[in-house]
Structure 1
């Protein structure tokens, strides 16, 4: 089943109105996009796909859902996710020189991408420092953020040190030193903690939660993202992901900002108090209904 409206709310019950959910890490090519129509997730950010395909989905999105997209993964020749069965060839852009980095960023902007996605995966060939720095510099000049998939020892620190704006996963392959966490506090981290919640991966989840808690305590911005399409993730609200945000230390306004969109976003309403904890927010979302957009 999809993530649509559950029943109706009696007119006599006071309602709290809040923006809808924004999932800041999805792969729409790996899910049934139609299940997002008119649900509680009102905006998704696709972080790695064929730019022409995802631009078409953004132009004709599931009803009531805004689609933003980054376009392809930018990686070294033969770098991640080259050769992965789930990644079409056009979802991967190989970048070998600083000049190619500048051209790649210009192509993202021309294709309507809101960000530049970069892959640093230690198990495969890696972007050299000068090419990584060129991607960040070109993106900064173009006014778009750099979002990094950092996997393996030292790769999160590389992203932090080069000035990337966002890590698209809370680091899970290593426990970051406190001084690295402190330097990272200027960034945004997208949670995706739920993808580690599987038998045999408890160590990865524990490392990620430890990094997330210290990042939040240091003042870093942790936001909701599920990596929808990576394994059996639900198409819609991922309640387990919200629970993990609570475990990482988010509550109150910080939790609502992490999960929900800006005040101008499509709105939800529920006959429950303003949610303060992860448990509250899950219950509130379950009870919520979509409100019609105001006429312009």
Structure 2
């Protein structure tokens, strides 16, 4: 066994083919209100993290999820009055929580806790009104006091720096609007970044994608944790495994690091099984997931 893998001997399966068992796929950035959630049932994706929706709706989906899928949720975007994603046609009013003062920050975090959220989502989007530093610090401080991580959508010049300096735990997109300095990357290495590379994909060499990949490579080299997330629901993204996201993640990670980025923890259930060998590259992992099937419980 390695990296959470369980290998079976020939004859351990009805067809006599030796197999490997691995945890299911965890998508750490989705918006379930923008997709047909039923399509996730009993597939390779076994856990999703909803990062911005009406907390009443998403709590109901978590209580009655697609078959075989665990739903974790952050609740609404926390943003300045008029800040992102205020006014976006895809965002219900209750998916956006305007926070104007430190006192309102404390109330907002208490509401996330009461709604069963696992994290506090914050939006820092240049070009729209931005949370002032004291309110950002209050959101981070209140979330941490409640035992919740802070997940930040940081877009535009200087916003990744604000998130990093402000004590955020996760960037929900690898920064794609600017190349971060080596000094900032080093300070960010305590964090987790969510990939979402494929939303920047397109013909040629899209500058946003190239910036994101460059930032991600330096972040990983500095010791940061990079994980798979698709922003499912942002445009025509597939509901389930996003193979293009894995391909792009494979430009940064391989082997055990890639498996750990895409798949759940070693003790996760349900697990997936498919013929050996253990996937090492992005193309290997995509092929392995295509042939995988669910086990009802983890054999560990």
TM-score (norm 1): 0.95
Runs of 4+ in 1 over 3 A off after TM superposition: none
The answer to whether structure 1 residue 99 and structure 2 residue 94 are counterparts is: no
Q: Say which of 268, 271, 275 aligns to 1:267.
A: 271
**1:247 aligned counterpart, secondary structure:** coil
1:116 counterpart (120, 126, 135): 120
DSSP-derived class of the 1:147 partner: strand
The answer to whether the Cα contact below 8 Å between 2:271 and 2:298 also exists between their aligned partners in 1 is no
- The corresponding residue for 1:3 is none
CA distance in 2, matches of 1:147, 1:94: 16
Q: Could you list the per-position Cα deviations for residues 217-246 of structure 1 after superposition, in whole angstroms to 9, with x for gaps in the alignment? A: 111000000000001110000111111111
Matched, 1:256 2:259: yes
1:239: which partner in 2?
A: 243
Partner of 1:31: 35
Look up the SS of the partner of 1:16 in the other structure.
strand
Q: Distance in 2 between matches of 1:267 and 1:294?
A: 5
In the alignment, is residue 228 of structure 1 matched against residue 252 of structure 2? no
Give distance in 1, aligned partners of 2:259 and 2:204: 31
C-alpha distance in structure 2 between counterparts of 1:98 and 1:289, whole Å: 48
> Match of 1:131?
135
Q: Which residue of 2 aligns with 1:15?
A: 19
What SS is found at the alignment partner of 1:205?
Answer: helix
User: Could you tell me how far apart the structure 2 residues matched to 1:188 and 1:158 are?
Assistant: 15
Give 1:10 deviation, angstroms.
Answer: 5.0
**Offset of 1:278 from its aligned partner?**
1.1
Distance 1:200 1:47 in 2: 30
Counting matched residue pairs gives 286
Q: Does 1:86 align with 2:90?
A: yes
Q: Which residue of 2 aligns with 1:178?
A: 182
Q: Does 1:286 align with 2:284?
A: no
2:202 corresponds to which residue?
198
Distance 2:203 2:14 in 1: 42
Q: What is the CA-CA distance between 1:264 and the residue it aligns to?
A: 2.4
Is the aligned partner of 1:140 residue 2:132? no
Separation in 2, partners of 1:159, 1:201: 27
Shift of 1:11: 2.6
How far is the alpha carbon of 1:262 from its aligned partner? 1.2
**Contact 2:84 2:124 (8 Å CA) reproduced:** yes
Distance 1:293 1:183 in 2: 39
Q: CA RMSD in A?
A: 1.3
* TM-fit CA distance, 1:199: 3.7
Give the Cα–Cα distance (whole angstroms) in 2 for the partners of residues 240 and 48 of structure 1: 23
1:163 corresponds in structure 2 to 167
- In 2, the alpha carbon distance for the partners of 1:247 and 1:262 equals 22
> Aligned partners of 1:290 and 1:267: how far apart in 2?
6
Q: Does 1:54 align with 2:58?
A: yes
Give the deviation of 1:104 after TM superposition: 0.4
1:253 deviates by 1.4
